[in-house]
Structure 1
Amino acid sequence: MSLRRVSRIYGEGVGRVAALDEVTVDIHRGGFTAIMGPSGSGKSTLMNVAAGLDDATSGEVTLAGAPMTHLDDDARTTLRRNEIGFVFQAFNLVPTLSARENILLPFELAGRRVDAEQQQWIDHLVHTLGLRERIEHRPSELSGGQQQRVAIARALASRPAVIFADEPTGNLDSRSSREVLTLLRTAAREYGQTIAMVSHDPVAASYADRILVIADGRLVGDHGSLTPQEISDLLIGFEVGAA
């Protein structure tokens, strides 16, 4: 996935705000990338534009070889459905469906049959994520950590080109957070899944192997793996500089 001189502008004249300001970056295949920055820095806008949930004002966004910025709404919806997985802070599971049915929902929505190879992969995910004994339970019968694991299984099930995770541990306790972050890291390292995670949490970001820092709509930092303290110091530096 790549962004080339991507801007997202809101308003005009004195009310003009550049939520993204000519951002150029590649999200590497099989990498776990954390996107960080002060509040209002543009990190969520970056994710939304990269995922085709919001339009870039200018620049080029390419995902799975497709020029996202030149697709019409129907083609963009199809691309998102086939090539993008989402993991949200609020889990976004369908409450009337079992864990199994939630995991299979993307296939149902796309009108795709689950073949033997895909079923084997889904069974592997269910086992790896510790969901086998809870697979017929509905979300209300699962803990927060279990619900997030179902959401991760759903995102991984179709092996999309990239998974966008928006504050995926924001509603979890520390133990469940560690479990979920370890699973995301394993998905990247062992299964080659590309993951882009928006987070404000230095501990969560320390699980990633790459950290992008956004400030005032610009990409101001591109780092390898860092400790929580190093990330915290990095962010404090940008916040002090903005004050």
Structure 2
Amino acid sequence: MFTTPNDEAAVVAFREVGKSYGTEATVVHALRDVSVDIRRGEFTAIMGPSGSGKSTFMNVAAGLDDVTTGGVFLAGQPLHAMDDTARTILRRQHVGFVFQSFNLVPTLTVAENVLLPFELAGRSVTPQQRTWIDHLVHVLGLAARVDHKPAELSGGQQQRVAIARALASRPAIIFADEPTGNLDTRSSSEVLQLMRSAATEYGQTIAMVSHDPIAASFADRVLVLADGRVVADHGRMSPQQISQLLLTAEGVPA
């Protein structure tokens, strides 16, 4: 039987997690006996070949999908023992998301998009939170754009809005799913540097799913999955080192 984590440094804890899809005759094991922690204040990149379990890992960690076996703890709470409603409430309280496609509401201004998590949770913004949000908007270079709609912004600016929205409520963790996938090289670098600064300067925990060694090189930690298992766990690495690591995970001689 897996043990409940007692380390407060673990924002997300996997304990002997398995996730499978399909029937017995056509079962697919997306995750196999995964036990790993996502530590507080770290920027973690989750990588691996296509079909390795990266997306399933994120969905299970965020409580968007159920585990088949084992346990997942988010902010100390047992996701595996919660119903959909309880998991939704927990996500609203503790999780931010940044997606490849930005997922901004096109009819809302920048300011309204940033405040959307508070609206959805039915929470008013405190003076302290307002000060933090104003700081974010300034640091992210959006102060002159707060009254603009997403269609009036570049892709890089839209992703900055998405990052501001994710950071606004100071969540326990931000899950970023290929956040630079739709950006050019310059915008990608700016967005990744902003995420790195969020971790180093504000202690924000970030878990980023990515296939890009350059993007992953901004992270403090690189986790590599293959066939549903964690096959590598390293500190910060160069893009070249990460590329070698991925080739090894795919069974290609380095």
Corresponding letter in the other structure for 2:200: R
Aligned mates of 1:125, 1:137 — CA distance in 2: 16
- Contact in 1 for aligned 2:224/2:249 (Cα 8 Å): no
Query: Which residue in the other structure is 1:226 paired with?
Result: 237
Count of aligned pairs: 242
The secondary structure found in structure 2 opposite 1:235 is helix
1:154 aligns with 2:165: yes
Aligned pairs for 1:48-127 within 5 A? 48-127=59-138
Corresponding letter in the other structure for 1:221: A
Query: Which residue in the other structure is 1:195 paired with?
Result: 206
Query: Which residue in the other structure is 1:175 paired with?
Result: 186
Aligned mates of 2:65, 2:157 — CA distance in 1: 30
Query: Which residue in the other structure is 2:4 paired with?
Result: none
1:119-146 CA-to-partner distances (Å, cap 9, x unmatched) read: 0000000000000001110000000000
Query: Which residue in the other structure is 1:14 paired with?
Result: 25
1:103-123 CA-to-partner distances (Å, cap 9, x unmatched) read: 000001111000100000000
Aligned mates of 2:148, 2:22 — CA distance in 1: 46
TM-score (norm 2): 0.94
The secondary structure found in structure 2 opposite 1:159 is coil
Q: Which runs of 4+ in 1 moved over 6 A?
A: none
Aligned mates of 1:89, 1:13 — CA distance in 2: 34
Instruction: Give the % identical residues.
Output: 69
Aligned mates of 1:99, 1:8 — CA distance in 2: 38
Q: Structure 2: any 5+ residue segments left out of the alignment?
A: 1-11
Corresponding letter in the other structure for 1:116: P
TM-score (norm 1): 0.98
- Give 1:14 shift: 3.4
- Give 1:185 shift: 0.3
Aligned mates of 2:21, 2:33 — CA distance in 1: 14
Query: Which residue in the other structure is 1:42 paired with?
Result: 53
- Contact in 1 for aligned 2:231/2:249 (Cα 8 Å): no
Aligned mates of 1:138, 1:6 — CA distance in 2: 41
Corresponding letter in the other structure for 1:223: H
Corresponding letter in the other structure for 1:141: E
Aligned mates of 1:226, 1:165 — CA distance in 2: 19
